[in-house]
Chains A and B, each alone.
Chain A
Amino acid sequence: MSLVDRPFYSARPEWKDVEPLEQYENINPLAPILYTDEYKDATNYFRGVVRDGEKSERVLELTEHIIRLNPAHYSAWQYRYETLIALNSPLATELQLMDEIAVKHLKTYQVWHHRRLLLIQLRDPNPELKFIAQSLKADAKNYHTWSYRQWLLAYFNNDDLWSGELDFVDHMVNEDVRNNSAWHHRFFVVFQSGIRDSEKDRERVIKRELIYVKQSISLVPNNASAWNYLRGILDHNKLPYLTVQVFLEAYTLDTPPATGDIVDLENPPPSKEAQLPCPAAIELLADVHELQGAEGVGKAIDLWKSLRDIYDTIRKRYWDHRIKGASHREGV
């Protein structure tokens, strides 16, 4: 983990004026970490600097060193940020350094938190979108990376920032149609981040989204992310589940229906390669039926039984619970 062969701070004349402070250790420490000499040396000097309250260029070097050895050292991050501000350091340079450090430590919370603090000062969010897209190439489902994008969009909330977002998320979904982070992001962009001018015609937007998700399902039916998205559209916009009944039915059969040349955008059929029946479609169709009186409940129960016994046996107890609940309510 060591950087080039750099001499220890204790051997460097320019650090002579700082008193290194060893870490306090109880005689019986619990879960002590066997530090490397390099880490010990750097943190000894860090404790010294913190006690003196020194905020200088060399503190930036020291905190960078510690962060590279232990990116979860939140005190080093906090002190580094305060030093940057105290020195009036060019934060754009810091951001460049972070481009490199972030990619190395994508899973460390502090890396992203520091970036937010920098952006709040710099107030130049647009180039960040490209950086985020780049780091998603290394890890397309990274939670921190997506949260950072969501924060950036919501915090700065300018039209320019939002303008390419649907295309971006479409690209991410196409790269991996099972990437739930991308589907979640689409929902956030379309339904949960305010309504931008180009999206004012909500009826058109809802129709567009329904077609989008149904098309995706028709190509890859067994994709929980897409089904959750479909349910999300219906619930969020208070659309009755009944509106998708026709669409669903084809997905609950054992084989794709024979189709003519007529393309029905509202009800795209499952592709020829589709694995059928699709448990998520059976589940949603059962939800549709459940709302349609005693006869509907009977149909729903048959569907739940097929899930319980054949198509989704891991959730046997859940399907039993649904069957019991509905029978009880309807007195079936």
Chain B
Amino acid sequence: MLDAPLPPCSRLGHVGHAKRCLSGLPSAQVELDASTMAVVFYCIGTLDLLEMLEGKTSESDRQSWRDWVWEQQTHGPNGSGFRPSTYMTPQRSPNVQEDCTSYDGPHVIMSYTALLSLAILRDDFSQLDRPGLIKFLKSCQREDGSFSTVIGSGDTDLRTLYCAFAISSMLDDWSGINVDLALQFVAKCRTYEGGYGQSPNCEAQGGTTYISVASLYLAPGSPSTRLTPPERQKTIQWLVRNQLSSGGFTGRTNKEADACYCFWCGAALQILGARELVNVRGLGQFLSSCQFKYGGIAKVPGEHPDPYHTYLSLAALSMYPPEADPTWAFGPLDPLLNARVETSNWARAHIPAR
């Protein structure tokens, strides 16, 4: 079955899906209200991975997108960063500069997705409040090394820690975080299976395993001091076992395959230097079968697509392009930041202070 020819990648369909979501989401998606920036990143990122940003959007569109993202940069007493959207922002004259209330402040995960979105849009980052962002990260780190998503919330897990690492790496400035303490927290999330859970004592999961591995390799210094060869081997083994006979990856032992785990597990394997162990053919088969007939990619065949699974599927294919079919060819991906290599180079060239 895995040898059957792949149906073509409906590239224009996926562009259409991303553009439709950028223009508006139905009321049933109200749960995305507090994470719009991430949705925006997945949509713009989809256009980037398909290399259709220039061809399928106008410069004035892209400028208005940049403006929107910058509008989410907010400044408060504990630093600055990006908020999810204006969902907590009252109507006022946009010229009035006032400190945000603590319920309308920056969010670590949204700050990471905002920086990547701006890099995709090739912004010059002249508006970035770098000292404010570093101060914000500092205010979010907790005693156990983990990070809260917003200031003053106990809401903490590994995702936020990874985003703080990715931001510091893009800034090329790690002064906002205590790296050793954070790495101790990561180590506590490791489980007997070889993967990492979301918090200490939790079950190994593909997404948080990617996040842990990426954090270990993003941090300054040598990753080999943080992961012994047997540990690395065991993690690779667990990740490889997550590829199921359908070709898709599961996120946890004995669960079903899901498109997003093709990225999370595949990217972790690439970072660990084990990309040659992935069954690329199977991965392509599974992801092509998750394509929705009107564009976008769903978590499993037959379901409705969403920006998250669409972006992550294309990102997985960028690392593991199935050789046979030219519609499935993509440019290379930087697995550490989760962006096209050209985009991550842009970020690293323009985000650090000069």
Binding site for B on A (CB under 8 A): 21-26, 28-36, 39, 43, 47-48, 50-51, 69-75, 78-79, 108-110, 113, 116-117, 141, 143, 146-147, 150-151, 154, 178-181, 183-185, 187-188, 191-193, 223-225, 228-229, 231-232, 235-236, 314-318, 321
In angstroms, Cα B157 to Cα A110, docked, is 12
Q: Quick one: CB contact mask for B85-128 with A, threshold 8 Å, 1 for yes?
A: 11111111010000001011000000000000000000000000
Q: How many angstroms from the CA of A165 to the CA of B203 in the assembled complex?
A: 17
Q: Is the CB of B202 within 8 A of A23?
A: no
Binds A, one of B258-266, B272-280, B289-297: B272-280
A31–B40 touching, CB < 8 Å = yes
Question: Could you tell me the distance between the alpha carbons of A78 and B241 in the complex, rounded to whole angstroms?
Answer: 39
A243 CA to B30 CA, complexed, in Å: 55
Question: How far does the Cβ of A42 sit from chain B's closest Cβ, in whole Å?
Answer: 11
Q: Which residues of A contact B71 (CB under 8 A)?
A: 26
Does B287 belong to the interface (CB within 8 Å)?
no
Given A31-B40, A75-B103, decide whether A23 and B89 contact each other with a Cβ distance below 8 A: yes
Using Cβ atoms and an 8 Å threshold, which residues of chain B touch A21?
90-91
Which A residues lie within 8 Å of B92 (CB)?
Answer: 24
Q: Which of A29, A33, A314 contacts B279 (CB 8 A)?
A: A314
Chain A positions within 8 Å of B33 at CB level: 33, 70, 72-73
B91: chain A residues at CB < 8 Å are 21-25
Q: Does B57 contact A (CB under 8 A)?
A: no
A317 to B, closest residue via Cβ: B277
- 23 A/B residue pairs, CB under 8 Å, sorted by A: A23-B89, A30-B40, A31-B21, A31-B22, A35-B27, A35-B30, A50-B103, A75-B34, A75-B88, A79-B103, A141-B252, A141-B255, A143-B252, A151-B201, A154-B201, A180-B252, A181-B203, A191-B192, A192-B192, A224-B254, A228-B193, A314-B244, A314-B282
Expressed in whole angstroms, the Cα–Cα distance for A75 and B105 within the complex equals 10
Which residues of chain B have C-beta atoms less than 8 A from A33's C-beta? 24-27, 29-30, 32-33, 36
Give residues 32-69 of B contacting A (CB, 8 Å).
32-36, 39-40, 43, 64-65, 67-69
Query: Counting CB contacts under 8 A, is B199 at the interface?
Result: yes
Let me know if B198 is at the binding interface, CB within 8 A.
Answer: yes
B43 contacts A31, C-beta separation under 8 Å:
yes
* Distance of A43 Cα from B86 Cα, bound (Å): 12
In the complex, residue of chain B having the shortest beta-carbon distance to the beta carbon of A38: B27
> In the complex, which residues of chain A have a beta carbon less than 8 angstroms from the beta carbon of B40?
30-31
Task: Judge whether B31 is part of the interface by a CB distance below 8 angstroms.
Answer: yes
A35 nearest CB neighbor, chain B only: B27
B201 adjacent to A193 (CB under 8 Å): yes
Do B193 and A28 touch (CB < 8 A)? no
Cα–Cα distance between A232 and B154 once the two chains are bound (Å):
31
CB distance from B294 to the nearest CB of A (A): 18
Distance in angstroms between the alpha carbons of A231 and B233 in the assembled complex: 14
- Nearest neighbor of A325 in chain B, beta-carbon distance: B233
Instruction: Provide the residues of chain A in CB contact with B204, threshold 8 Å.
Output: 184
Is B73 engaged at the interface, CB distance under 8 Å to the other chain?
A: no
The answer to whether A187 touches B192 (Cβ under 8 A) is yes
- Taking a contact as CB atoms closer than 8 A, the residue among B101, B155, B202 that contacts A51 in the complex is B101
The CA-CA distance from A247 to B276 in the complex, in Å, is 33
Which residues in B have their C-beta under 8 angstroms from that of A178?
254
A28-B67, A51-B101, A314-B243 known; 20 other A-B pairs, CB under 8 Å?
Answer: A25-B86, A31-B22, A31-B32, A31-B39, A31-B40, A31-B85, A33-B36, A50-B88, A75-B103, A78-B103, A78-B150, A146-B203, A150-B202, A151-B199, A184-B191, A185-B203, A236-B192, A315-B240, A317-B277, A321-B276
Tell which of B87, B149, B192, B247 touches A23, judged by Cβ atoms closer than 8 Å.
B87
Closest partner residue, chain A, to B198 (CB atom): A147
A116 to B154, CA, bound (A): 9
Nearest CB in chain B to that of A176: its residue: B254
What B residues does A75 contact at CB under 8 A? 34, 88, 103-104
